Amino acid sequence: MSTLARLYNAFIAMGCGCFSVYYMVAYRDAGLTILMIALVNVVFDVSTTLAELPTSVLFDRWSREKTLMVGTAFRLSGFLMLLVWPASFPVVCAANLATGVGAAVESGATSALYIECSRERDPSLTMRTLMSQLYLITGASTIAGGLAGALLFLVAPNLIWLGAFVCYTAALPPLVLLLAGRHDGRKDHAEETTPDGPAESSLEGRRGILASVSELFHRPEVWHLVLFNLGTLSVLLFWQLLLGVGQSGVWWLFAGLLLTNAAQIIASRIGVLRPRATDEAIAVVVIVASAAGLAFLPSRPAQIAAFFLFSCAQMFVVAIASAQLHDAISDAVRSTAFSVVSLVLMAFTAVLTPVCGWIGDAVSVPWASLTTVPLLVMAPVLGFFTRRRHARTAAADQRMARTRQ
């Protein structure tokens, strides 16, 4: 089962790599204006936000594999529209509406599937180890997809959507086999807790969902992850423009993708070493300094080096914050928890992205890339309180254990 989950995550990451750093340029080459592209991104963000909680609830309470199949179908329909009608603004909006639903399904659900299947094989695996393994798989696969996307882009920019379509199609057989294995050897998730009656099941299910979501909004681990992602938003939004765009600059974009995912692999390995309480604060300092270097250093090699440092530190903190959230929640709400993070993050992103774009037009792209960086200062503070909360909980558990003895 873990091998199939690994294959599914690899194909999904490869498909994302085909277009993730090229799509803005592909939109421009198709004739869309900057305003149109901004509106398309808003459509995607809104679609993802609205579909986030419903799809995660389906994943947690209906069927993991079936929900992921639905999300993949939405992604495939969007890629097909972008491949056939890349210059039609209404069609591009509709395509992003569909791919947004698919992205909402994938958010948190792909990692939750891998964690569940891996723990069934080896329950002794820690969350930090599992996240490191997952980042290794997705990082290497995204690099492979990025290379394929660069080659397809040089032939014709809209062919990046063909590469994504093929990869997502290849991700369906592992899901089918996982679903078949679930029905052959273990119960479907919906069958594990069967209530007494339909009406009672529906009412208790809704109450349980609302209680879970309400409790998650009060967890500092959720806001820690949200704040950090918002702090790096502007850099991740504009790094393509800082390193170069246009068909002639496709290899600079691929270099950025390569460094991003190499940094993800490196950060995942660093994450399993002896962690210290000061690691996150040091990483945030590196992020701020490297973001400034990426924005203002005069030479392209120096910018690339700064971007690599930024990516290593950013992935390292994401791994820390994600592991803290995973450790703080149960398997029953794991996908829902990360969907709550994505829901809140997308809501803020929909507001902050136009602000960053306005600063880019009114001032400059380098200054716009630093717009949200000040929010990073708050992330280590929340991380500190999160660690204190975990320490108090562990101490209370130890006292309870001694009392029972």
What does the alpha-carbon distance between residue 228 and residue 247 come to, in Å, rounded to a whole number?
32
Is pLDDT above 90 for 93? Answer: yes
Beta-carbon contacts of 355 under 8 Å, excluding residues fewer than 6 positions away, are 371
Q: Specify the DSSP element, H or E, that contains 189.
A: none
Q: Is the pLDDT of residue 192 over 50?
A: no
List Cβ neighbours of 126 (8 Å cut-off, separation of 6 or more).
none
Q: Could you tell me which of 101, 58, 64 has the C-alpha nearest to residue 79?
A: 101
Confidence tier at 58 by pLDDT (50, 70, 90): confident
What is the pLDDT of the chain when averaged over all its residues? 78
The CB-side HSE value for 362 (13 A sphere, CA atoms) comes to 7
CA dist 75 → 16, 103, 104, 277, 290 (Å): 10, 7, 10, 40, 34
Q: Do 364 and 92 contact (CB within 8 A), yes or no?
A: no
| Res. 14 pLDDT band, cuts 50 70 90 | very high
3-state DSSP assignment of residue 146: helix
User: CA-CA distance, 76 to 167, in Å (whole number)?
Assistant: 10
Query: Which residue, 322, 331, 327, 310, is CA-closest to 376?
Result: 310
What is the CB neighbour count within 10 angstroms for residue 282? 14
pLDDT one-digit tens code per residue, 277-324? 567 788 889 999 999 999 999 888 898 899 999 988 888 888 777 777
CB atoms within 10 A of CB 38: 15
* pLDDT value of residue 290: 94
Q: Taking 60 as the threshold, does the pLDDT of residue 25 lie above it?
A: yes
Using CA atoms of 322, 10, 41, 306 in order, give the dihedral in degrees to the nearest 10. Answer: 70
Asked whether 69 and 110 are in contact (CB, 8 A), the reply is no
First-to-last C-alpha distance (Å) of the chain: 39
Stated pTM of the model: 0.69
Taking the C-alpha atoms of residue 49 and residue 241, their distance in angstroms, rounded to an integer, is 26
Top CATH class of 2-404 equals: mainly alpha
CA 144 to chain centre: 18
**Closest C-alpha to 287, from 243, 239, 231, 238:** 231
* pLDDT of 50: 83
* Residue 372 vs residues 110, 353, 355: alpha-carbon distances, Å: 28, 10, 10
Range scoring the smallest mean pLDDT among 149-153, 156-160, 195-199, 352-356: 195-199
